[in-house]
Amino acid sequence: MNKLANKTAVITGGTSGIGFETAKYFIAEGARVIITGRKEDTLKEAAQQLGEKAIPVKADVRSLADLDQLANQVKEHFGSLDIIFANAGVGYFTPLEAANEASYDNEFDINVKGVFFTVQKLVGLLNSGASIILNASAVNAKGMAMGSLYFAAKAAVRSFARSFAAELGSKNIRVNSLSPGIVRTNFEKKLDLPDGAFEGFINTVVNSAPLGRAGKVEEIAKAATFLASDDSSYMTATDMVVDGGWMNV
């Protein structure tokens, strides 16, 4: 226990799903955590559930002004930072011919721009030995009908981990991506799929994965905790795939 004792962390999109569960694990291991979200009421409720070691900061990762304010809040509350979990993301399945500029911008502004500038705005606050975790997805090396925008955005996140790691290694800062497979969270409600379509997608993935089941949110949180801790001190530029084997078979 206490693998993250005296550590400070930021988790974007920390009000639900993987982000919220990871915040629980970080706190249980001794960390103090800033969680971000776009909705004030949801953010406050999540922080209350997490307890006194959780600090809510309202921030939209698409807004550089919000990310500047996030960095200011980190300075005010922590002074410096040990862990960044760039977790906030969305996913929409859009047919090629139906996609428009707005759908493209929404997918890439949150998943790609948001991740890049979250790291850029906070990297100057990181201590030596810090860990950056980027939430990619097991789709980052796959292709699927209607998935072109989402899959490409997550491939970009995976690519960021490689280049950030190469750039920050001399500062003793590690950067890895974490690629979950199918995990049942409220994320599925954001996919904008017709009724029954998500269940079909789950069945397709689960039936082709060696473990033959969806993942549990705590399984992803445990992986994130490992990457945040010194247990992974010799890991950087790696994509940790936690997907029941789907991506690699």
Q: Is residue 125 part of a domain?
A: yes
With respect to residue 248, please indicate whether it lies within any of the assigned structural domains: no
Domain-embedded: residue 1: no
* Sequential DSSP letters for the chain: --TTTT-EEEETTTTSHHHHHHHHHHHHTT-EEEEEES-HHHHHHHHHHH-TTEEEEE--TT-HHHHHHHHHHHHHHTSSEEEEEE---------GGG--HHHHHHHHIIIIIHHHHHHHHHGGGEEEEEEEEEE--GGGG---TT-HHHHHHHHHHHHHHHHHHHHHGGGT-EEEEEEE-SB-SGGGGGS-PPTTHHHHHHHHHHHHSTT-S-B-HHHHHHHHHHHHSGGGTT--S-EEEESTTSTT-
Q: What is the CATH number of the domain that holds 68?
A: 3.40.50.720
Q: Which domain does 102 fall in, by range?
A: 8-241
Q: What are the pLDDT tens digits along the chain (249 aa)? A: 699 999 999 999 999 999 999 999 999 999 999 999 999 999 999 999 999 999 999 999 999 999 999 999 999 999 999 999 999 999 888 889 999 999 999 999 999 999 999 999 999 999 999 999 999 999 998 888 888 999 999 999 999 999 999 999 999 999 999 999 989 887 655 555 656 666 777 888 888 899 999 999 999 999 999 999 999 999 999 999 999 999 988
Is residue 101 assigned to a domain? yes
User: What is the number of domains present in the chain?
Assistant: 1
Report yes or no on 247 lying in a domain: no
Decide if 3 is inside a domain: no
Which pLDDT score, from 0 to 100, does residue 146 have? 84
In a domain, 134, yes or no: yes
Catalytic residues: 150
